[in-house]
Structure formats: C-alpha cells, structure tokens
Structure 1
C-alpha cells in the first residue's frame, strides 16, 4: 500500500460518512468470467430453491421444516422432537464445517451461495438496472427533483420489488407448512386464515425492506458470519486479495515513464466502483468483503486493456502474495478438517441407524401384579407406537432377553405413515425370572417382517 494512504479504513465502514449518515452504494455493472459463472450458479440455486417445495415423495414434500409442529422431513425421512440430539450434533458439525471452510477459502459462501446475495445481485439489482440504468444514471435519477416520470418509474420499481418479496416470503413459508397447505391459504379468502395472511404480509415487508433499502447493511451490520470471519481467517486463508507487491506503488504511467518504478495498479478505482459494499480491496482483508469477485473481473478487464497480466486482484492468501509461493495447507486447516470428518461420520452413523419407530411402553397406572398360576405373574402395559416413516408398516412385539410371554390381542399392529397408535399389551413372566426385590427389567423387541428394528426397556413389578 501507499505510505501516505489513509489507514483509518478499519475504524469506519464505507457506507457511513463522518456525520453518521448512510452513504448509498451505486455499484457499477461488471461483466466477466467470474460474474458469468456466478450467474449460472445463482440461477441454478434459484430454480432449486423455488422448485423444491413442489417436489413430493409419498405425497409429502421432500424437504419441510415445520417448526410449528416440531416435525422435519428430509428426502422421505421424518424427524420428530425425540431426534433433537441428531439435529444438535448436525448443528455442531455445520458450525465446524463453516469454520473449516472459512479458514481455508474465506467468505466465498457469501458471494456465491448466500440467498441474500443471490436475490439482491441477481434479481433486485438487475431489475433496478433494467428500469433505471447503470450506476451513474441511477444516481442522477435519485438526485433529480420529483417529476411525473420519476414518480412512475420509482413507483413501478417498488411495486415490483414488493411483489417479488411477497413471492419469496411465500416460498420460504412453503418450506415450513408445505406447498399444499400454502396453496389452500393462498386460494382461500384471507378471512379464513387471517393470522397467516398478516404474518406473510409482515415477512413480505421485511424482505422488501432488506432488498430495496437495507441491502448491503445486512451483510455488514447484521450477519454474524460476516462479523466473525476475521476470527476464522489467517494469513494462509485463500480469499480475494490485491497483489500489493506487484501493484505498488500505484499510479498511472505516462509514456515517458515506462521505465519508472510504478506498479501495475494504475489507480483507476474501478475495483471500488463495482464493489457492492463500497470498500477498497487494495486495503487488504476487510469485514465488509463478501467475495463477490466483481473487483477481480473489473481489474482483469483493465489489465487486459493496458497489456498487463491478469490477476492483480485474485483468489490468494496473504502468504501466497507476500512469500510468492503456491497454496500451502496449514495445521489449523488440517485440524478443523479432521474434527469435521469425525463429527460427520458420527452424524452419518446416527442417521443411517436411526430407528424408524418410536415407542413408549409403561405399566398401566394403578394396575397391580396379577398372579396367573402358581408360578406365573402378569403386568399390563400401556403402549404408544409412532411410525416415523411416510409409509404404512406392520409391527409385531416379542420379549427378547427374558423368558416369558407377551400377549397383544392380535398378531401385529398396522400403522400408517406418520401415524400414532396406542394399545395395551400383557407380559407374563415365570416366578424364576422375577427379582424378589425391586423391579425386573427386560427389553421388548419391535419387529417388522421378523426383523428386529427397535427395542424398548420395560420394567416388571413382582408380587
């Protein structure tokens, strides 16, 4: 960096001036290889995000996060409150993955996959540019006095923004209650679903406010991931970086200065003009950088025009630039990776071995031990069985680690997908199997097609 360059950029943000007022960002349109790849990935993501709620398996959505009923569906697997420990471990695994990924590749998720960035840059800002022009025209229009043309152009834009926000709010709601239920709410009169209608309008206004006004402030001020990234990254993290060794001292070269000691950066400030958070990437790693790659495309275009090699701004770590070597994996990255794969393996084991049923078997309240014969005693149990799958299954029950008999009244219990069945069973044990003091504990096995799929601990009270 220049020796006389301002060094207080870390004490303020680019979107607020010295008086504490909001500085509106007008990022210029940029086109380049990275932007084209981001468009492809973003449109695929949008298609998946909008299309997933319409896809069903066995009449149920393949993904549903119903926090209201505490029921989650992932690709035909139903998760209930008793599976909370799996979600807890999955959450920890996700946090470790985020730390590992950020320590290795920086904030690349924010620029390429974050829904906030995808909707803002690939939907709302593209519509804004289509209606109002590029950055200079938008700025000029906003500074003009109100006129009929300006009023209708602004009004049409904001009506369109709210309509898109309303659509986004409904799509997100479909992940919670399911598309079928959402269609019922949308097609029915608002008076029949007044609470849901008010909620969806509120969420629509929130999305509208974020994408039409709050914009980059969500990444800078609200997003916890952005504020924690400085803790996760170090000098070996690959992120969007300015090659200060090649670019400094910056400045335009005159023809008579071709042999001067100036670097490749001609200080055109195009990297600043295209930045959606208004930062100068040449100042180094900053919290506001979302790794959107606009500055890379803009700088590469300038380098190509002046006959210099591309890559003055590129994906690189500080050490890769400072020490002029390729990427080297750090011990911290290896440690995070090992921890992640251990946790991921445990998650995979728990998910693949998760019982497909949930059962509660307790002695009937108030019932006593009944003597059946000289050497046989009976306890009565109240049982609840939950089918955690989407399909109908038949279940049978057996004692698996104690001598005795189990009577159900029928050979099996048939339960529909996501169904809950309550029933009574009787367990008869010989006297030799019953402890003289305290309760006798044993397991009742739940079988499907003669295959043990789950077992439940039960207690037998003797005479």
Structure 2
C-alpha cells in the first residue's frame, strides 16, 4: 500500500484519477498458473495455425475479400454461404448457453483481448516499468531521460508485437504464401497489402497501448449481455457475503464478531478493470479470477478456508445449492443441438461437385433433319475441391443421347465454375408427353457425384 504522502502526490498528478488502471499482479495464484498455461496454448495455436497446411493448402483460411473459407482443410465457397451462416448462428447460441451457465468465463480465460493484455502487454510493462506502484510513480513523474527511455522501449515493443499480431491475422485472411510475398517482394508491388498491415498494426497498438481495459468495459457488447442472460443460478466470480460480512480488520483479542473478509482491498487492487467484486456481479467483471487468487492468499495467511471469493452462483452463496441444469438452460441447449444437428447433416451431405443444368430460356424444342427432337441446355459445374476432376454426363432415361455444343465438358478446374452447353436428343416417336422428366448422372473421376433433375420438351405424336 502507498504511504499517505505517496497517495497525495499521485492524486495531485492525476495518476489514480480512474482514467488509467494500474492493477496489482496476483503473484503465485493457483488459478493464475492455470490461466498462464491456457494462454500459452491459445497463443501457440493462434500464431501457429496460419502456417499449417494440408496437401499444400491452409488448414484455416478466412478470405472474406474473395469469399473463400477453409476449415480444417475443407474449402467452402460462396455457394456454401448458408453453411457459414448456420455455423455462425450455432456459435452465437453456444455463447448464450455458455454465458447462462458460466457467466463471462470466456472473457477471463480465452478472449484474445484479455490474453494479450494481461499475459503479454502488461507483463512487458511490468518488466520495463516495475510493479503497479512504480508505474504510477513513473506516470506522475516529470519527463526525465530514464522515463523517456522506459516509455520508448515499452511502446517500441508494443508496436512490434502489434505488428506480429497484424501479420498473423492477415495470414488468416490471405494465406501465408501471399503474406510472405508481400513481406519479401518489392514494396511497390504490394502497396495495398502493406497499407493493410500498417493499418491493422496501428489498430492493435492503439487497443493494447491506449484503450486497454476500456475495450472490455465500454466497447465490447458481450459484457452487456450479462444483464440479460445471467440469473441467480449462473456460475460467476462471486464474493461470499454470507461468510464474509460484516467485514473488518483482523484484530487479536477482540470480542466483536466479524466475517472472514478483513477488508484488505487486495481484490480491488488486482482487478484489471478496477471494480470491487464485493459489491456483486458487475458489467466490468471479466471473470479473470485475479481477485480469487488474491483473496485465497489472504485467507491462507489468516488461517481461514479459501473460497471467500470463488466461482459460485447467487443461489449457491445464499442457499448452498449446487449448479443445476435449469429449464431455461435446457431450452437453449435444445436449440443448440438442433442447430448443430442441422449443420452436421448439411456438412455430411455436402457435395464436392455441384452441378446445375437448365434448359435454354426462350426455347422449346427443335426438330432435327433426321427426325429427332432436341432441347438445348446450359450446364454449370462448381468444383469445390483443390484438385481438377474429370467429368462425365450421362442421361439415365433410355432413348436419349447427349451432344455438346463446341468442346465437350470433360474437366473442372479446382475452385472454379465451368460452363458449357449441350443438346439432348431423342426420336420423335419415343416422346409420350409434352414435358418428360429426365435424370442426368454427373460422374467425377468415374464416381457418381450427383443426379440432376430436368425436363425435356417435345411434341406428342
């Protein structure tokens, strides 16, 4: 804690005015160690995934500009937009289900903003400027050579890390090969890509160097969902006021009955958003568990059981109830299962080759010189794979033959639309109705991929 004189000096310089948070680091906390392990794994995955490939193609790609997406090596094209939309809807419902059950757990353990801010940028800040007291003193101090050196070093590292993050996110969008080309080729040939890198770098730098916890408190809408989604049964980071109140300083030989909370304010000092968890669940709480570790450390020192601040529901604190799978949670879960089931079915039945056959508009039928009746069709083939495929079309109905207009459609290149036209012909005497249903088999590399339905127009003799 500060001395009275230090507090007055810092307040006079505006260092603790509430505009900038200087949280104390909860050293040695049990949950902090687990958060560090989780953060390390997630950072490894984030920076490593863009460099992983399957058969020469990215494992993950989110190319919004060219509307191409790759998930676990499987490509998705604009024609698969309904799958992407359904997947996003399922993800939103999953967030709702998870929040109803476990509150803002995502924010504290897996959100990139929290991981980078708490585990990367704030660690660098502590390494260069010292602990939270030293940081406040440095902010309040006049500009000296030492202060300039520390600030230049800190913000220089911040900018380099923001540049690395920007490159990583751009690799997810355009792929690592194009990113490497932008980095190594003549800059004049990639002005657009370099401009994107610089813009994203400045954005990430501004977020982590200036906005910081404001992103979680003001900008991110997820925190405001808590007021709608949380109830008394949701598991959140909570203060056990039943056990902790009335709070007061620990004094020996005191007959006054008090709760376990010794009012040390460590839970407030370690909070990255500066809230007092003892006032209940609040919008600013990101469930980072720093207050849990700090409080557990104090309880150990005064020989009290841990868990004065812990993961618990309001009902659990008031009535001692354990987590329950409520009707509300069951309803949300059912919706999520239905969405995931529908998405899974569509993915399993998704065709690698998508073919569309349409009769030429404005035409009915033609009579050929040899007495056959013909209809003109256009065919479009989308190859959703990464390899060229050999195509073969065959009319399943007996008595019909297929004749291409120009070059036969024999190959579909990867990730492209291939268009062609053909006539279907049949003897006039074989026509039994004005509109004959037909089935055309589409084979790729000799395997049946699709059966396309269409109609054949002709006169009934």
Q: Same fold (TM over 0.5)?
A: yes
Q: How does 1:282-301 map to 2 (within 5 A)?
A: 282-301=278-297
Deviates most, 68-77 or 364-373 = 364-373
Query: How far apart are residue 379 of structure 1 and its match?
Result: 1.9
Determine which of 77, 102, 106 is the counterpart of 2:103: 106
Determine the structure 2 residue equivalent to 1:327.
Answer: 323
Query: 2-side partners of 1:203 and 1:129: how far apart?
Result: 25
| 1:173 and 2:173 correspond | no
Determine the structure 1 residue equivalent to 2:218.
Answer: 221
Query: 1-side partners of 2:329 and 2:374: how far apart?
Result: 60
Determine the structure 2 residue equivalent to 1:281.
Answer: 277
Structure 2: give runs of 5+ residues left out of the alignment.
Answer: 1-16
Query: 1-side partners of 2:19 and 2:445: how far apart?
Result: 68
The CA deviation string for residues 76-126 of structure 1, in whole angstroms up to 9 with x for no partner, is 211111111111211211111111110001110011111111111111011
Determine the structure 2 residue equivalent to 1:315.
Answer: 311
SS in 2 for 1:291: coil
Query: 1-side partners of 2:417 and 2:277: how far apart?
Result: 58
Determine which of 226, 232, 245 is the counterpart of 2:229: 232
Query: 2-side partners of 1:142 and 1:66: how far apart?
Result: 42
Determine the structure 2 residue equivalent to 1:69.
Answer: 66
SS in 2 for 1:92: helix
Query: 1-side partners of 2:97 and 2:315: how far apart?
Result: 18
The change in CA–CA distance for 1:449 and 1:132 in structure 2 (over 3 A counts) is: same
Query: How far apart are residue 448 of structure 1 and its match?
Result: 3.0
Determine the structure 2 residue equivalent to 1:380.
Answer: 376
| 1:421 and 2:418 correspond | yes
| 1:353 and 2:337 correspond | no
Report if the CA contact (8 A) 1:220-1:227 is conserved: no
Determine the structure 2 residue equivalent to 1:8.
Answer: none
Determine the structure 2 residue equivalent to 1:453.
Answer: 449
Query: How far apart are residue 461 of structure 1 and its match?
Result: 3.8
Q: How does 1:22-421 map to 2 (within 5 A)?
A: 23-31=19-27, 32-257=29-254, 259-364=255-360, 369-372=365-368, 376-400=372-396, 404-408=400-404, 413-421=410-418
Query: 1-side partners of 2:282 and 2:50: how far apart?
Result: 37
Query: How far apart are residue 454 of structure 1 and its match?
Result: 2.1
User: What is the Cα-based RMSD across aligned positions, in Å?
Assistant: 2.2
The CA deviation string for residues 188-243 of structure 1, in whole angstroms up to 9 with x for no partner, is 23221112212221111110000001011111111111111221110000011110
Query: How far apart are residue 383 of structure 1 and its match?
Result: 2.0
The CA deviation string for residues 130-165 of structure 1, in whole angstroms up to 9 with x for no partner, is 111110011111110000110011011111111110
Query: 2-side partners of 1:436 and 1:83: how far apart?
Result: 37
Query: How far apart are residue 375 of structure 1 and its match?
Result: 6.1
The change in CA–CA distance for 1:391 and 1:449 in structure 2 (over 3 A counts) is: closer
Query: How far apart are residue 365 of structure 1 and its match?
Result: 6.0
Query: How far apart are residue 370 of structure 1 and its match?
Result: 2.5
Query: 1-side partners of 2:258 and 2:71: how far apart?
Result: 57
Report if the CA contact (8 A) 1:58-1:391 is conserved: no
> How many correspondences in the alignment?
441
Query: 1-side partners of 2:189 and 2:157: how far apart?
Result: 27
Report if the CA contact (8 A) 2:409-2:420 is conserved: no
Report if the CA contact (8 A) 1:402-1:433 is conserved: no
The change in CA–CA distance for 1:435 and 1:252 in structure 2 (over 3 A counts) is: farther
Query: 1-side partners of 2:291 and 2:326: how far apart?
Result: 27
Structure 1: give runs of 5+ residues left out of the alignment.
Answer: 1-20
Query: 2-side partners of 1:452 and 1:232: how far apart?
Result: 49
